[in-house]
Chain A
């Protein structure tokens, strides 16, 4: 339960209107300076997109940057365009815009569906795709300011005896058992998207799969972003355009709640035979959790006969005291994805038919997919 306080502590606010200015600011402010509370920190400036992950942490004094670089005016970071046969999305494009964009819906309905299921309409109207991909862990011990491994300490409260860990990881945990909270991350990994990252000195491009970090690589962050880095483009190649997609998110309430588990799958088929597939689970590990064993087992098989491949999805799962259900859930999600079955539980956002591949029945909508 959040505490309502008087407001956020002071920070200097910068509102650059170009990527170059933003990078110059981050270069100047981003490293080696002092935190507002007088401690030395690697981080002084903080990148602000829609603010839905950041602001509550400023309010709770969990993060106290002394400078905030707001990207709201950097028009170049917003919007969706085609470059050759790639779809290029600016990170400041809102989730609602992603969910309703005709090109994304037609070619990459998987991403549109994932974006349409994030949080609530207002959050989708303001939260950005870049922010959704780059958001931090939602483990409540960590968010509550407990000095755990992820916060630089030497204990994991969520894995301790008596801990509340119903929402935590069943795969790939090492010391920290927090999960990746992003709904759009598994979709972009399935679609083999590439992310362009810039700082003042260089530009690099990473596969979506490599953007996200597990605790074995770095226990204190979920992505490869450095403090002076900006995510500047999300590029989706034509590889999986228009193939069979399946997205399902399971959560306690159909609005607001993060996924307990989700699956994003892309399958190329000849008739009923699966030629090639990518399956990625969300919210079961610190990063989107690809299922290469399942993908290999599916190749070349008719999908009706391939459902048992779902059992491979959960090999090596290590449940905690309260999240054993995620193992069963993950297997069932993989199974339904292979068979193309509708979601197991009714979802307010999807309605009976889901939106994938369906043409937009009405003019532009800011709240994404409607129930049908």
Chain B
């Protein structure tokens, strides 16, 4: 675990460009006034449970400090503030599945989740699948070997949904897996190959 305090100082190892991008994204420049008193402002409110903006999210095994608006979706935070653009926003209405991430191992649509609602939970995006050395996750290897996707826009969502499903049923039939990933759309209509790829990936996962 390491701490990135994107809003406050430039962390070691981050390029200046990355830093500026994160600063713009977190709103220090464009919203400098609301950001700075965020803590004091929140504390000054007397109602129980009013949220603070500067929060820590656990994403892909890392603790990330980030400035989150109260009306911000998890997809917005992950893409816009943490640069995790593998999270795709297809419809922004819980109707396509491209934004699916795992929250404590459970697949949810990040476009329809408030970031504040998942604080303290472990968030996993497609960026967190490969090993730090770059070796693909067995599920990714499975779809690669079977040439599972055509344009690939829906791929991160499918991978995350399948991974969540496989944690509950590691050795599914094709029909069971189809039901498991039925909350994800592929506009290329590549479902057959996607299922073959995911089943191959599931097999790699079982082999360890």
Q: Give residues 1-49 of A contacting B (CB, 8 Å).
A: 2, 4-5, 7-17, 21, 24-25, 28, 48
B107–A125 contact, CB under 8 A? yes
> Which has the most chain B C-beta neighbours within 10 Å: A123, A254, A364, A371?
A371
Q: Please tell me if A255 contacts chain B, counting CB pairs below 8 Å.
A: yes
B179–A4 contact, CB under 8 A? no
Shortest beta-carbon distance, B120 to chain A, in Å? 9
Which of A7, A122, A362 interacts with B183 by CB under 8 Å?
Answer: A122
A33 to B97, CA, bound (A): 37
- Of the four ranges (under 10, 10 to 19, 20 to 34, 35 or more), the interface on chain A belongs to 35 or more
A14–B182 contact, CB under 8 A? no
Residue of A nearest to B100 (CB): A122
Query: 9 closest pairs, A vs B, by CB?
Result: A120-B183, A13-B70, A16-B49, A72-B117, A8-B71, A21-B48, A122-B183, A255-B182, A2-B93
Binds B, one of A55-63, A181-189, A317-325: A55-63
Q: Please tell me if A367 contacts chain B, counting CB pairs below 8 Å.
A: yes
> Which has the most chain B C-beta neighbours within 10 Å: A8, A25, A120?
A120
Q: A25-B48, A51-B117 are in contact. List 10 more A-B contacts (CB 8 A).
A: A2-B92, A4-B92, A8-B73, A13-B116, A14-B47, A15-B50, A21-B49, A122-B97, A126-B109, A370-B179
A251 to B202, CA, bound (A): 31
A122–B108 contact, CB under 8 A? yes
Chain A 87-123 interface 0/1 with B at a Cβ cutoff of 8 Å (1 = within): 0000000000000000000000000000000011111
- Of the four ranges (under 10, 10 to 19, 20 to 34, 35 or more), the interface on chain B belongs to 35 or more
Q: Give residues 158-173 of B contacting A (CB, 8 Å).
A: 161, 164-165, 168-169, 172
> Which has the most chain A C-beta neighbours within 10 Å: B100, B161, B183?
B183
Q: Please tell me if A243 contacts chain B, counting CB pairs below 8 Å.
A: no
Q: Give residues 245-300 of A contacting B (CB, 8 Å).
A: 254-256
Contacts of A9 in B (CB 8 A): 71
With A13-B71, A48-B114, A122-B97 as contacts: A348 and B182 at CB distance below 8 Å: yes
Chain B 73-84 interface 0/1 with A at a Cβ cutoff of 8 Å (1 = within): 100100000000
B49–A51 contact, CB under 8 A? no
With A13-B71, A365-B169 as contacts: A348 and B179 at CB distance below 8 Å: yes
A25–B47 contact, CB under 8 A? yes
Contacts of B58 in A (CB 8 A): none
Q: Please tell me if B91 contacts chain A, counting CB pairs below 8 Å.
A: yes
A26 to B70, CA, bound (A): 18
Shortest beta-carbon distance, A21 to chain B, in Å? 4
A367–B112 contact, CB under 8 A? no
A70 to B118, CA, bound (A): 11
Q: What are 16 A-B pairs at a CB distance below 8 A?
A: A4-B89, A4-B91, A10-B70, A13-B71, A14-B49, A15-B49, A16-B49, A51-B113, A58-B71, A68-B71, A123-B94, A125-B106, A125-B107, A366-B165, A367-B165, A371-B178
B71–A126 contact, CB under 8 A? no
A216 to B175, CA, bound (A): 45
Shortest beta-carbon distance, A140 to chain B, in Å? 13
A256–B48 contact, CB under 8 A? no
Q: Please tell me if B38 contacts chain A, counting CB pairs below 8 Å.
A: no
Chain B 174-193 interface 0/1 with A at a Cβ cutoff of 8 Å (1 = within): 01101111110000000000
